[in-house]
């Protein structure tokens, strides 16, 4: 089984995120960056499948600036076999379409049986790239999976995805794309031997030219949709503290819910 995991480097979950002074981006000073947590579920699933099948290669792929190599290296330390880093100054400001186009070009250089994405990157929370790549590669996909059973011999899989009030169980032919949700597995940690070996594992770097993509096919100029303004969310303010003993507080609450909030 050859498996690709597309990852993105994002600010750590617990980061305090503020808009930059011009409101066009976030303020990146002092932020620490990690592998997008949902992508980690993809990597773990890939490693589990490789162990289950007993052979194959797990390749991690990411688009980003020089710093992205840290995230790729972390994935190698966790257990991926090789990494592909796509970087090109022309990519700056690209929209989902361009990112999907570039990833597709990189993914089509090899034959992968399964391609994993996170269900969304926790920076822009869009959740579109994996699905978009599936369409461009003409592959079936299941988004937001929380369970996966792969039958490597007949190239099929069964995926579960949570929907409102239940779970969809989907039969799918491989090769296929999956985007991963939290419950799928428990990602392993990088190990010390893994960390020591990470630098020796293959790291391929592609520019747009290497992928036969014109620099003017991507980037901010080509974006159909762009970020116009970032702002902090409107702050809620503390409302009424209901005093007194439990009975009094509850009576006051019920009255407010009834009269002010008009809930019942």
Partner 1 sequence: MDFIFTEEQTMLRDMVRKFVDQEIKPLAQQIDKEHNVALVQGILKKAAPLGLLGIPFPEKYGGSNMGEMGYAILLEELSRGCASTSVTIGAHIGLAGTSILIGGDEAQKEKYLKPLALGEKIGAYALTEPGAGSDAASLQLAAKAEGNDYILNGTKLWITNGDIADTIVVYGLSDAKLKARGGITAFIVEADTPGFSANRIEDKMGLKGSATAELVFQDVRVPKENVLGQVGMGFVIAMQTLDESRLSLAAACIGAAKEVLGMSVDFSKKRIAFKQPIAQFQAIQFMIADMTAEIFQMESIVYRTAWMYDQGTKIPREGAICKLFCSEALDRIVDKAVQIHGGNGFMGEHPVERFYRDSRVNRIFEGTSEIQRMVIAEDVLKKGSY
Partner 2 sequence: MGQILVFSEQRDGKLKRVAFEALGAARQLASQTNATVAAIIVGKNIASEAETLSKKGADKVFVIDDPGFAHYSSEAYGTIIADIAKKEDTSLILMGATAMGKDLGPKVAAKLGGPFAGDCIKLECDAEGKITATRPMYGGKIISIVRSHTNKYQVATLRPNVFSVNEADENKKTVFENIDTLPDLSEMKAVVKEILSSANTKIDLTEADIIVSGGRGLKAPEHFALIEALAETLGAAVGASRAAVDAGWKPHSYQVGLTGKTVSPSLYIACGISGAIQHQAGMSSSKYIVAINKDPNAPIFKIANYGIVGDLFEIVPLLTEAIKTIKNEE
| Contact between 241 and partner 1 per CB under 8 A | no
Question: E-assigned strands of 66-127?
Answer: 82-86, 114-118
Residues 192 to 211 in contact with partner 1, rule: CB under 8 A: 192-193, 195-196, 198-199
**Is the C-alpha dihedral spanning 30, 73, 123, 209 positive or negative?**
positive
Residues 197/159, Cβ–Cβ less than 8 Å: no
Query: How many residues sit close enough to partner 2 to count as binding (CB under 8 A)?
Result: 81
Q: What is the rounded distance in angstroms from the CA atom of residue 218 to the CA atom of residue 245?
A: 63
Q: What are phi and psi of 111, to 5 degrees?
A: -100, 110
Q: In whole angstroms, how close is the CB of 121 to partner 2 at the nearest point?
A: 10
User: Which tokens sit at 90?
Assistant: 């022309």
Q: 3-class SS at 57?
A: strand
| Contact between 193 and partner 2 per CB under 8 A | no
User: Which tokens sit at 125?
Assistant: 């929370």
Q: Which is nearer to partner 2, 175 or 194 (CB)?
A: 175
Residues 71 to 110 in contact with partner 1, rule: CB under 8 A: 73-74, 77
Q: Which does 205 bind (CB under 5 to 8 A by kind): partner 2, partner 1, none?
A: none
Q: In whole angstroms, how close is the CB of 62 to partner 1 at the nearest point?
A: 16
Residue of 48, 87, 182, 188 interacting with partner 2 (CB under 8 A): 182
Q: Which is nearer to partner 1, 109 or 199 (CB)?
A: 199
Residue of 30, 54, 165, 193 interacting with partner 2 (CB under 8 A): 165
Query: Which helix (H) or strand (E) element contains residue 234?
Result: none
Q: Which is nearer to partner 2, 76 or 159 (CB)?
A: 159
Q: Which is nearer to partner 1, 19 or 187 (CB)?
A: 187
Q: Which is nearer to partner 2, 58 or 184 (CB)?
A: 184
Q: In whole angstroms, how close is the CB of 158 to partner 2 at the nearest point?
A: 7
Residues 202 to 221 in contact with partner 2, rule: CB under 8 A: none
Q: In whole angstroms, how close is the CB of 101 to partner 1 at the nearest point?
A: 31
Count the Cβ atoms, other than its own, within 10 Å of residue 83: 26
Q: What is the rounded distance in angstroms from the CA atom of residue 174 to the CA atom of residue 170?
A: 12
Give the residue carrying structure tokens 């790291």.
203
| Contact between 132 and partner 2 per CB under 8 A | yes
Residue of 92, 124, 171, 191 interacting with partner 1 (CB under 8 A): 191
Q: 3-class SS at 100?
A: helix
Residues 130/179, Cβ–Cβ less than 8 Å: yes
Report H helices in 94-168. Answer: 96-107, 129-137
Q: Which does 166 bind (CB under 5 to 8 A by kind): partner 1, partner 2, none?
A: partner 2
């Amino acid at each position: 089984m050859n498996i690709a995991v597309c990852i993105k480097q994002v600010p750590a979950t617990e980061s305090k995120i503020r808009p930059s002074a011009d409101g066009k981006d976030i303020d990146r000073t002092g932020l620490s960056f990690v592998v997008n947590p949902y992508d980690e579920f993809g990597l773990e699933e890939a490693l589990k499948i490789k162990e289950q099948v007993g052979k194959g290669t797990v390749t991690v792929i990411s688009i980003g600036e020089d710093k992205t190599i840290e995230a790729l290296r972390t994935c190698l330390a966790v257990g991926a076999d090789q990494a592909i880093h796509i970087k090109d100054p022309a990519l700056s400001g690209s929209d989902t379409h361009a990112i999907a186009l570039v990833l597709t070009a990189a993914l089509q250089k090899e034959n992968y049986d399964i391609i994993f994405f996170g269900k969304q990157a926790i920076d822009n929370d869009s959740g579109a790239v994996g699905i978009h790549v599936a369409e461009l590669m003409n592959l079936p996909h299941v988004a937001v999976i929380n369970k996966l059973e792969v039958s490597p011999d007949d190239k099929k899989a069964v995926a579960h995805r949570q929907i409102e009030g239940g779970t969809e169980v989907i039969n799918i032919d491989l090769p296929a794309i999956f985007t991963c949700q939290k419950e799928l597995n428990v990602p392993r940690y990088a190990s010390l031997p893994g960390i020591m070996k990470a630098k020796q594992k293959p790291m391929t770097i592609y520019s747009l030219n290497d992928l036969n993509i014109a620099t003017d096919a991507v980037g901010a100029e080509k974006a159909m949709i762009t970020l116009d303004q970032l702002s902090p969310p409107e702050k809620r303010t503390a409302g009424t503290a209901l005093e007194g003993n439990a009975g009094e507080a509850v009576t006051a609450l019920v009255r407010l819910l009834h009269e002010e909030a008009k809930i019942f």
